[in-house]
Amino acid sequence: MVDVLPLVEARLRTALGEPDARAAVTFLGTDRIEVLRFRDDSPEGVVLRYATLGMSAQPMTDPAAMLADPVKGPRAELVLSVRGGLADTDKVLRPLAVLAASPQVEGVVVAPGASLDVGEPLWPGAPFSSVLAAEPGGLVEDLELDAPLDPVRFLPLLPMTPNEAAWKRVHGAQALQERWLANGTDLRDPSRRSVPLD
């Protein structure tokens, strides 16, 4: 059986550079989840990218399936980008690990358009407790694996305020993303307000 995680980490390093910090979290009955932090010093300021490593070790299984297939099924890792220096966003490591462990713990399949909620602020004082999983392929390209394994997809996470999460449940992910776009919302601002939803 191929060990997927070294390939995943290599893809993250190719796309995002060398991580400047990493932390590991292990939940009872699950594989270890690591969260790597990458620092991007862009002209507009520092952007911190947090990427999970470990979620893709096993394929995600449809909760309705009688038996989990150890080989086939979607694989993913999560990537969150926030502006640095504006909030204590390093505290997001544990919530991110919780989200990355949810396929093993709760049997959920995390796919683009899904809402994920940690039930508490993503970091101290954060106006967000949930995220929207966006379409992969922009920041980190999919990692193709040898057949019959599915590729690893790197899903960007977009933090949602409680109002945005409730609005998304009614109107859908596409409508919320269009609303953000129309209002020029800076989704990497760790203390941004909710987009106008009326």
Stronger pLDDT, 101 or 43, i.e. the higher one: 101
Contact 157, 188 (CB under 8 A): no
Which candidate, 11, 6, 2, 3, places its Cα nearest to that of 143? 11
Cα–Cα dist 55/115, whole Å: 17
CA–CA distance from 88 to each of 19, 178, 191 (Å)?
A: 18, 28, 11
Joined together, the tokens standing for residue 104 give: 């093993």
β-strand partners of 57: none
Q: Is the pLDDT of residue 64 over 70?
A: no
Burial of 117 (C-beta count, 10 Å sphere; 0-12/13-18/19+): middle
Query: Would strands 21-25 and 152-160 be described as parallel, antiparallel, or unpaired?
Result: unpaired
Give the model's pLDDT for residue 197.
85
Query: Would strands 130-133 and 45-53 be described as parallel, antiparallel, or unpaired?
Result: unpaired
Q: What is the mean pLDDT of the chain?
A: 91
Joined together, the tokens standing for residue 163 give: 């109002």
Contact 84, 92 (CB under 8 A): no
Percentage of the chain exceeding pLDDT 90: 72
Give the model's pLDDT for residue 179.
95
Q: Is the pLDDT of residue 103 over 80?
A: yes
108 three-state secondary structure: coil
β-strand partners of 86: none
φ and ψ of 75, to 5 deg: -125, 145
Q: Which residue has the tokens 């979620």?
A: 55
Which candidate, 152, 159, 107, places its Cα nearest to that of 133? 159
pTM over 0.85: yes
Q: What is the mean pLDDT of residues 107-124?
A: 93
Cα–Cα dist 174/176, whole Å: 5
Cα–Cα dist 18/125, whole Å: 28
